[in-house]
Amino acid sequence: MFDLDLYERVMELATRRGFLWPAYEIYGGVSGFYDYGPLGASMKKNIEDIWRRHFVVREGFMEIFSPTIGPEEVFLASGHVSSFVDPMTECRKCHQAFRADHLVRDATGTETDGWSYEELEAALARHGVRCPSCGGSLGEVWSYNLMFKTHIGPGSGKVGYLRPETAQAMFILFNRLYDFYRKKLPFGVSQLGKAYRNEISPRQGVIRLREFSQAEAEIFVDPKEKEHPGFETVRDLPLTLVPDGAEEGTHTAGEAVEKGMVCHQYLAYYMALTQRFLEDVGIPRERIRFRQHKRTEMAHYAADCWDAEVYTDRFGWVEMVGIADRTDYDLKAHMEASGAELTAFVQYEEPRHVKRKVIEPDMAKLGPAFRKDAGQVLEALKKASPEGGDL
C-alpha cells in the first residue's frame, strides 16, 4: 500500500468502498468500462444534480431524453462518419494497431495536427519507426472511426451508430423545440445521458471511457445578437485563459471579451458558468483554466472552441468541458441531408422581414465518467472572417 501514489490510493479506496469497479471483472474486465457501485452512483447523481441546478434550473434550459442509437443518415449529416476518426497504423507482425500521429510525434517531437495520411506515412518511413511492441514493420495509415456501429432490426441493411455525443438530437428536434419555446430566440435545451466512443486504448481510469454520461446544453441564438442579457453577473469573474498562440493569463470575463480574446459575450458567459459549476463540484479555482483550440485541432463543426481543463497530479491538465461556438453548421447539415427547414424567423427593424438560419450551440465534456457541454451560439459573422469558411 505504501508504494502506491496518491492516484492509485484513491482508486484503491474507490474500489474498496464501493464507488467504482472495473466492469465485467469476473470475465477479466474490458478497458474503458466501469461500474458505479452504490456510493459511486449516488455521487454521480449529486454531480448531475449540481449541473442541473446551474444549466437547467437557473438558465432555464429544459431537458430532453433521446434515443442513444441513431440511423446512419444522422451521423453522415453531422460529419461523424467522415470526421470522427483517428489515423492508425497496424504492425505487420503482431497486428497491434497504434495512433500513427502519436508514433510520429514520439519519434520526431513535432506535432502533426492537420497532417494528411500520406504525410504521416512518409514521416514514419523516413524516421524508420517500428512497432513499439515487437519491433515489427508498420503498415499503411488508415482511418479508424470512434463510433460504435450496429444494425437496426434484422438483416444488415439498416446501419446505426451509438451516439458519440448527446447534441445531435437537439439539432434534429429544432422545430419541435422552437415551437415549444413559442418561436422566440434565444432558447436553450439540455440533455444528460449516455454517449459512446470506441476509444483506442482508454487507460486513464474514468477520465476516458468507452461508455460515459455526458451533459450538454445547446443554446440557439440570433446570429446578430452579440450581447448576453446576463453578462453583468459574470463580468468581473476572473478566468485563467490560454489563448491560441498567446501566454496564459488571468482576465475577467469582461476583459476577455473587450480584448478580443473570447469572441463574444455568449461564449464568455458560458465559460464563466462552467467555472462556477466546476468550483461547485469541489475543484479549486487555481486548478481550472480555459484553453483555446488551435484551428487544426478544432472539431469539424466548431468555429471557436475553449476547453475547460482541470489540473490533476497524475495526468496533468485534463479536458473536462468543451465550450464551442458551432455556428449554424449542425442545423445547416441536417437541413441539407433531411430536406427539413430548420430555421427561425426573426423580424428585424429593417423594412423587409428576413428569414435567417440561426443557431448556435455548444457543448462541453464533463469529466470523470461524466461529460458535459455548455452551449453557445455563433454568428454568421464567422463565415465572413478569413478562417471562417473552411469548417
Nearer CB in complex with Zn ion: 61/98: 98
And the C-alpha cell for 1?
Answer: 500500500
Phi-psi region of 175 (alpha: psi -120 to 50; beta: other; left: phi over 0): alpha
Q: Where are the beta strands (DSSP E) in 197-303?
A: 211-220, 238-242, 249-252, 288-292
Nearer CB in complex with Zn ion: 134/354: 134
Nearest-approach distance from CB 94 to Zn ion, in angstroms: 3
Region binding Zn ion by CB under 5 A among candidate stretches 90-98, 335-343, 349-357, 380-388: 90-98
Nearest-approach distance from CB 146 to Zn ion, in angstroms: 22
136 binds Zn ion (CB under 5 A): yes
Q: Which of 94, 125, 337, 354 binds Zn ion (CB under 5 A)?
A: 94
Other beta carbons less than 10 A from residue 120's beta carbon: 21
β-sheet bridge partners, residue 163: none
Nearest-approach distance from CB 85 to Zn ion, in angstroms: 22
Tell me which amino acid residue 224 is.
K
Nearest-approach distance from CB 120 to Zn ion, in angstroms: 18
- Contact mark string toward Zn ion, 302..341, x via CB under 5 A: ----------------------------------------
Region binding Zn ion by CB under 5 A among candidate stretches 132-140, 236-244, 286-294, 345-353: 132-140
Segment (H or E) for 374? strand 370-374
Q: Which of 116, 133, 137, 296 binds Zn ion (CB under 5 A)?
A: 133
Q: Which of 56, 81, 91, 170 binds Zn ion (CB under 5 A)?
A: 91
Nearer CB in complex with Zn ion: 131/206: 131
Cα separation, 104 vs 112, in Å, equals 8
103 binds Zn ion (CB under 5 A): no
Cα separation, 44 vs 51, in Å, equals 11
Round to the nearest angstrom and report the end-to-end CA distance of the chain: 50
Nearer CB in complex with Zn ion: 13/134: 134
Interface size with Zn ion, residues (CB under 5 A): 7
Q: Where are the alpha helices (DSSP H) in 28-173?
A: 38-52, 72-78, 80-83, 100-108, 117-126, 168-172
And the C-alpha cell for 292?
Answer: 483555446
And the C-alpha cell for 253?
Answer: 470575463
Cα separation, 375 vs 367, in Å, equals 16
Region binding Zn ion by CB under 5 A among candidate stretches 21-29, 82-90, 134-142, 322-330: 134-142
Nearest-approach distance from CB 134 to Zn ion, in angstroms: 3
Residue 350: alpha-carbon gap to chain centroid: 38
Cα separation, 174 vs 148, in Å, equals 25
Region binding Zn ion by CB under 5 A among candidate stretches 135-143, 212-220, 301-309, 326-334: 135-143
Q: Which is nearest to 192 in space by CA: 211, 172, 165?
A: 165
Nearest-approach distance from CB 132 to Zn ion, in angstroms: 8
134 binds Zn ion (CB under 5 A): yes
Nearer CB in complex with Zn ion: 95/355: 95
Instruction: Name the residues that contact Zn ion, by CB under 5 A.
Output: 91, 93-94, 131, 133-134, 136
